Amino acid sequence: MGVCGQADEMLEKIYSNMSACHLRQNNWKRAIETADKAIAQNENNYKALFRKAKALGETGYFEKAEKILEELLKKNEADAAAINAELSRLRTMDKEREKVHNKKFKGFLNREKKTGGDEEME
């Protein structure tokens, strides 16, 4: 491996570790950005993919996160327990979000219509 290859490998690790740091600080946007940079260096960086999925889930992009985790599960059976745990956590969060969302719309859609001078004139 040449100097450029070593530098690329080091950059990949740095970006992946930066993503982990941003996750711990709940800085989801930067966690996604740095995970993407690590993945650009190596598309098979499972840690960076996992971190990106986790940050996407935290920002409400449940479908994108779920897709990444399901693909990761196919490629990386060694970490199946952690991946399945994250999938379960995301699905629970999504269901809770959906309940709140439906509750808000239920109240909105069931309001009585106000009549304020819209009656027909004879």
Rounded to an integer, the average pLDDT of 43-71 is 96
What residues make up the domain containing 51?
Answer: 3-107
The CATH number of the domain where 89 resides is what? Answer: 1.25.40.10
Does residue 54 sit within a domain? yes
Does residue 113 sit within a domain? no
Q: What is the pLDDT of residue 122?
A: 45
Does residue 121 sit within a domain? no
**Taking all residues of the chain, what is their mean pLDDT, rounded to a whole number?**
88
Percentage of residues of the chain with pLDDT beyond 90: 67
Rounded to an integer, the average pLDDT of 83-89 is 95
Nearest to 71 by CA among 55, 87, 95, 90: 87
Query: Which of left, alpha, beta for 121 (phi over 0: left; psi -120 to 50: alpha)?
Result: beta
Does residue 63 sit within a domain? yes
Res 117 pLDDT > 80: no
Taking the model in full, what pTM does it have? 0.79
Q: Where do runs of H (alpha helix) occur along 1-122?
A: 3-24, 28-41, 46-58, 62-75, 80-109
Percentage of residues of the chain with pLDDT beyond 70: 86
Does residue 41 sit within a domain? yes
Q: What is the pLDDT of residue 100?
A: 82
Does residue 58 sit within a domain? yes
Number of domain units in the chain: 1
